[in-house]
Structure 1
């Protein structure tokens, strides 16, 4: 990256977990759509509208293939947060009179929640995969329960929270703080044995690992969400995968144009998925850009991306291990980790650590990273996080560590 910051220092960008930088092919794809095909998707009968619609649906097919899904099971949203909220609100709306009329009875039965039912999350969830479920519990009278973690950042066994009352399991595949890559198989199998829905937050896994929704956790999951801006794609677009039979039964989240079938003054009927969940003018240019990002990563090879991430993780953890004044959060070994290293410095607030790094051109994230309960569980107020992208180099990790080594002198720490 040629960008310089802070008095001409070369930028060392280690905040990809918050948002990724974009390859030129992604920028070009989005610009080309606006320059040559810009029209309202699914609306006009003229050639430009046809081209826009074709580009949009081709993008959907590309993104779906990237995660092993079929096009009709992929819904475009604003971001990963909206994708998770879509599911939570649809489950809330499912309890309304007539909301599931005509739906497959078996699918419909899985969508209804009420008092006595339980929603299970984990203590390490990003707020985007916690607060929507808190609100769903409040609206339906269901009870929210959560799986704890061990001191090294692994999930406790599923039977500690998942039981016969569980109706929803919402879990991250990779923690955005601890970077723990969970084997979700026992948790998904436990939830499935009780007929519960499984919702996976894949925002931190899809940029780094091969993800196949049909094979994940030994047989696939019901819903999976990720966001474009973390996976080399544009801002303003997210993805929700849902099992087709569940999407077909779910009532809509947002209503209006594009998602309807027949509209009369007395009432309306809704289009089949995925259009049912894409009210208004779709995010066509962003979808085209995201498809270009998926093509880019496919060309690189997700196995190679994952291997590169492990090289960076091993290098970062090995270097930090010799600094006794640094506490790394999460597993000490690189193998269970993906994409990020969060840490604290003895006696120095993470915001101050981040300022020292920023003064030397190193961009990192500081704070609770939208995972406040997890930080409380770890006994820290906040942390500093470095996170990697496919473009990150070991030399940039070295530059970060060199900048970090100035922190003790700046704050008078005895090391």
Structure 2
């Protein structure tokens, strides 16, 4: 670490032009990689043979490589070659990227459920993600996903997703909560483009069929739907995060916008948009403060099928599974993560969190966000069991305890950090 600091200081002088004679890169060499292709690493790196030796450019390359699912860690070295030229070495520590998943859980009705999947995050050694899952939760579901951010160049790529998801969904009417069998069959294609080190765009479309069938005897003649829809989707992201194994620092903002049009004249077109703000800060050697703020709005239709939901697995730990819906959302998740034990590849991390949020009722007003019926506040504690050399190999368990009106409490399990 001290050697790298000295190198950064020296290179900083170079990039400021203090040396009269410009130092050049003779070659970029890559070491330590086994499955990740050297040609791919060089293609997405900014440092090239013949370019000026610049510490800022090297630092950006290192951060970019650490963001790849296939990279656990990377560091650089600089060695003199000849005639004021230097060789730059990128030393790669790879993640294991063929990841099976097996989740077992119970629903509110104590039905046994599971999800089995397999994903490869470094297909062909070019950081391409490809995989699928099968889910049995009362009904059968599956999905197939492909994502290649550098398929066409070091800036342009493609993502394609197929899904056939069937679940039991609660739908909230004024006088009752009804259970529906909900099925969503969709195909999605997105173009991916990176403008520069921190800014990227996803733009594409999704064609899907939504089917809501009432479960049980429909004594109140509740609506049932089977509708073909088109969705235009855009994601704009500013990402200035830096990773060091389980620790994250920096800021990220991700804006999502969708416009949905229906082939059924009885259903109006609508939009939905939200922005996630992330702020991470290292605290000492073993601490990490993590924050996520989500703010979103949708067309304010008075409908029981509102797009924003209050859910354990999405926004408020301990609140329950899809307990309410709304056409607007404000949620803040803040937690302090502390490494309790670390040895070789294994990390045990503890966290203390507060999840707080509020929703606008379908057809409601802005002051719904301050209505005590809609405000949820849930502090809690959790544990993370982590493998440092397997991508996203984080098993988490959290316990949230509500302190707001009509609060509940409960455990939430999952794979990966909550946010």
With the shorter chain as reference, the TM-score category is under 0.3
TM-score, with length taken from structure 2:
0.21
Q: Name the structure with the higher helix share.
A: 1
- TM-score by length of structure 1 reads 0.21
Q: Which has the larger radius of gyration?
A: 2
Name the structure with the higher strand share.
2
